[in-house]
A and B are shown apart, each in its own frame.
Chain A
Amino acid sequence: MKLIITDIEEFNLPVEGEYKVIKPESGIHHCVGCFGCWTKTPGKCVIHDGYENTGINMGKCSEMILVSRCFYGSVSPFVKMVQDRAISYVHPDFVIRKGEMHHKRRYENVIALSLYLYGENITEAEKETAASIMDANADNYDGQVKQIRFFSNIEEMEGLVL
């Protein structure tokens, strides 16, 4: 399954194969840093606002595709809040990977990460930052970066098949 997380409310890009889209439907609550998703209801966020199952969905996906407006080299607040609410994808215990501390896997799937960032005047520095974040995410999810692409606006993405 492809898991698409986007801030585009009217998301309608065609997707090949089975997929699930997480987009702004109702207000999302931000992660409050309680770690309840590890120590109260392991695997699932404790805030019930419709966005509590992202960690579970990540455990079922082969590809995670972020389609977002670029905010200073990061994804948008909405997409980031969804990501923050989904750290239960990993196990709280630690492992050393590539010489650095990370979390153990909870699930066995290896996620291929793709990033489609749009926005006017995305700077070279922002592009570099975005790529570094994706590399770091891949280390943390123990997955791989598949592709990163930049667009000046949503319309420019027309014709894409995810």
Chain B
Amino acid sequence: MRIALIDASPKAKGSTSGILLDDLRHCLSGRAGMEMVDVALHSPQMQEEAWEKLDCADGWVFACPLYVDCLPGHLLSCLAQMDEKYSGGKEIAVYGIVNCGFYEGIQAETALKVMQNWCAKAGFAWRGGIGVGGGGALDIMTATPQEHGPKAPISKALSEMADNITEAGKGSAWENRYVSVAFPRFLYKMAGQMGWRHEIKANGGKSKDLGKRP
């Protein structure tokens, strides 16, 4: 079985989506008959290389950030092109992982719904999704899936997704799951706000400039 791991963050490097796909890859690697290909959808225009990889996959796993309670605009554009190309003519299992900056994974529900609607329209088989809250904290955590610690709930959901991918055809689609980093919300909030102050200073500004009203 060939699974396309589709990184649909607009960031080519250093994205949380990339980390989540790495973790899923870790869960899937070594399973019998499992082959993985990486697809990059960082811009609104589908590239030839992406088409080739999507064409010959049995499953597509999208990972993207939540943007304004929905999928990022560039990804919507890619999805529309995929719909146009494959509509009604491709048997494919689709999974989605949407990570959000806010703490509550449930905030990604609307974006996963859009993906489900896309599947319904194009005739793809929606197999389930994960909404990941606290995405901003993942880059400072250990690089592999974890059974304990702040990343554990996310690792568990990804490992269950990997099981479902492996059983595709046999297992049934599962309900979307919503998880957050196991890290108190007030600390996540504080760390985030310290991060903005650090960044604006690194850019030569002052903390109070964060609230400018141009």
Query: A76-B76, A77-B44, A132-B109 are known contacts. Are A31 and B67 too (CB-CB below 8 A)?
Result: yes
A39 to B213, CA, bound (A): 13
Interface residues on A, range: 35 or more
A101 to B193, CA, bound (A): 13
**Shortest beta-carbon distance, B66 to chain A, in Å?**
10
Near A by CB (< 8 A), chain B positions 150-206 give 185, 189, 192-193, 196, 199-200, 203, 205
Is A25 interfacial (CB 8 A cutoff)? no
Asked whether, in the complex, the Cβ of A101 is within 8 Å of the Cβ of B110, the reply is no
Near A by CB (< 8 A), chain B positions 81-122 give 102-104, 107, 109-110, 113-118, 120-121
Asked whether, in the complex, the Cβ of B212 is within 8 Å of the Cβ of A30, the reply is no
What 1/0 mask marks residues of chain A from 48 to 70 whose CB sits below 8 Å from any chain B CB?
A: 00000000100100000000000
Contact of B213 among A43, A73, A82, A137 (CB under 8 A): A43
**Shortest beta-carbon distance, A103 to chain B, in Å?**
9
Near B by CB (< 8 A), chain A positions 68-119 give 71-84, 87, 91-94, 96, 100-102, 106-107
Asked whether, in the complex, the Cβ of A30 is within 8 Å of the Cβ of B44, the reply is yes
**Shortest beta-carbon distance, A6 to chain B, in Å?**
14
A137 to B69, CA, bound (A): 7
Contact of B10 among A30, A44, A80, A100 (CB under 8 A): A30
Is A140 interfacial (CB 8 A cutoff)? yes
Query: A31-B10, A42-B210, A94-B189 are known contacts. Are A101 and B104 too (CB-CB below 8 A)?
Result: yes
CB nearest to A34 among chain B residues: B11
A75 to B107, CA, bound (A): 18
A42 to B71, CA, bound (A): 24
Residues in A with CB closer than 8 Å to B68 are: 80, 83-84, 87, 137, 140
Asked whether, in the complex, the Cβ of B213 is within 8 Å of the Cβ of A107, the reply is yes
Residues in B with CB closer than 8 Å to A133 are: 69-70, 110, 114
**Shortest beta-carbon distance, A154 to chain B, in Å?**
18
Query: A92-B210, A133-B110 are known contacts. Are A123 and B117 too (CB-CB below 8 A)?
Result: yes
Other A-B contacts than A43-B213, A80-B71, 20 sampled, CB-CB below 8 A, are A42-B211, A42-B214, A56-B214, A72-B114, A72-B117, A73-B114, A74-B71, A77-B73, A77-B74, A77-B80, A79-B73, A81-B73, A84-B67, A93-B193, A93-B196, A125-B117, A129-B110, A132-B109, A133-B114, A140-B68
Residues of B within 8 A of A (CB): 9-11, 15, 43-44, 65, 67-74, 76-77, 79-80, 102-104, 107, 109-110, 113-118, 120-121, 185, 189, 192-193, 196, 199-200, 203, 205, 209-214
Residues of A within 8 A of B (CB): 30-33, 35, 38-44, 56, 59, 71-84, 87, 91-94, 96, 100-102, 106-107, 123, 125-126, 128-129, 132-133, 136-137, 140
